[in-house]
């Protein structure tokens, strides 16, 4: 049922966002990519997705800290593809610091990208979805949208807020054919997390494998990383007919992290 639909995925040039983009492209969705990266690499990514999945792929490098750029991203996708059927708000940044030392500009940046951008893209995409009587909004929150950790005030606040936004949008669209849900991953082995593992290994004189196991054991009882492919499959499910009456949910994919 997703054949020919258009999906906008923020933060989709790498990591979780790219995994979701690939999963939706495999279902024959046209894809609007967004994110940072070298222009040549992004061009190669566009061409690779197009040739492998046989779908139309475009890229918009909108700065998601800007409300206007978020709205322009949706308008660009509507102009290029005729509408936005699926919106995945995945983009996120992080800063780690105790509250009393947290730089104000970093707080503002994390809230803007991790929370406010989702409001701005949803606000722009909803009118078209409602007119067509169908739409899927998937917000990539985090286990930190359900529980907290020290030194992550902005990230935790933003992800908790994203879950609240998800619930409000779900209620406001409950009878429109549009659904809105949140995916809440725990530790996912992305390039960003791999860098954290390598830094931990160097700081504690551990192998990379040992540092990865240490990272997991602190939070994730399964002792296994979630994969981007698993998150992509969940996003596809949320966009399908089986999830047509699933809305306002926050789905942890965290190896038991938030069950503790």
pLDDT digits (tens, 9 = 90+) for 16-57: 999 999 999 999 999 999 999 999 999 999 999 999 999 999
Quote the pTM value. 0.96
Nearest alpha carbon to residue 156 among 146, 171, 168: 146
Neighbour order of strands in the sheet with 86-89: 57-59, 30-33, 6-9, 86-89, 135-140, 178-185, 250-253
CATH code for the domain of 13: 3.40.50.720
Extract the tokens encoding 64: 């998601």
Buried b (16+ CB within 10 A) or exposed e, 228-244: beebbebbbebbeeebe
The low-confidence residues of the chain, meaning pLDDT below 50, are none
- What confidence score (pLDDT) does residue 49 get? 98
The answer to whether residues 218 and 141 belong to one domain is: no
- What confidence score (pLDDT) does residue 3 get? 96
The answer to whether 257 and 220 have CB atoms below 8 angstroms apart is yes
* Structural domain harbouring 194: 187-225
Known catalytic membership, residue 59 = no
116 falls within a domain:
yes
The answer to whether 71 and 127 have CB atoms below 8 angstroms apart is no
The answer to whether residues 10 and 113 belong to one domain is: yes
The answer to whether residues 218 and 127 belong to one domain is: no
Helix (H) or strand (E) holding 163: helix 153-172
The answer to whether residues 89 and 215 belong to one domain is: no
The answer to whether residues 49 and 152 belong to one domain is: yes
The answer to whether residues 100 and 204 belong to one domain is: no
The answer to whether residues 132 and 19 belong to one domain is: yes
The answer to whether residues 74 and 126 belong to one domain is: yes
The answer to whether 225 and 253 have CB atoms below 8 angstroms apart is no
Nearest alpha carbon to residue 50 among 68, 72, 29: 29
Q: What CA–CA distances, in Å, run from 175 to 49, 124, 164, 246?
A: 34, 19, 19, 12
The answer to whether residues 220 and 160 belong to one domain is: no
1 falls within a domain:
no
80 falls within a domain:
yes
258 falls within a domain:
no
Catalytic residue among 53, 155, 187, 257: 155
The answer to whether residues 113 and 233 belong to one domain is: yes
Domain count, the chain: 2
259 falls within a domain:
no
Give the up-direction half-sphere exposure of residue 217: CA atoms within 13 A in the CB hemisphere: 6
């Amino acid at each position: 049922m997703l054949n020919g639909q258009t999906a906008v995925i923020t933060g989709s040039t790498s990591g979780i966002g790219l995994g979701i983009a690939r999963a939706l492209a495999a279902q024959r969705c046209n894809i609007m990519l967004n994110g940072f990266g070298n222009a040549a690499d992004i061009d190669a990514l566009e061409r690779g997705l197009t040739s492998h999945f046989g779908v139309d792929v475009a890229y918009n490098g909108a700065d998601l800290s800007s409300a206007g750029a978020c709205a322009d991203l949706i308008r660009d996708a509507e102009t290029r593809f005729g509408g936005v059927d699926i919106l995945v708000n995945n983009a996120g940044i992080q800063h780690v610091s105790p509250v009393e030392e947290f730089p104000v500009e970093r707080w503002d940046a994390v809230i803007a990208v991790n929370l406010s951008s989702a409001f701005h893209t949803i606000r722009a995409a909803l009118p078209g979805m409602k007119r067509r009587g169908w739409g899927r909004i998937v917000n990539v929150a985090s286990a930190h949208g359900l529980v907290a950790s020290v030194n992550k005030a902005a990230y935790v606040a933003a992800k908790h807020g994203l879950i609240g936004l998800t619930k409000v949008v779900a209620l406001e669209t409950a009878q429109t054919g549009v659904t809105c849900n949140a995916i809440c991953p725990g530790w996912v082995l992305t390039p960003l997390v791999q860098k954290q593992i390598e830094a931990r290994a160097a700081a504690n004189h551990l192998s990379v494998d040992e540092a990865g196991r240490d990272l997991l054991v602190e939070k994730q009882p399964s002792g296994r990383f979630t994969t981007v492919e698993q998150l992509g499959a969940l996003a596809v499910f949320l966009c399908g007919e089986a999830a047509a009456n699933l809305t306002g949910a926050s789905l942890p994919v965290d190896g038991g992290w938030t069950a503790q």
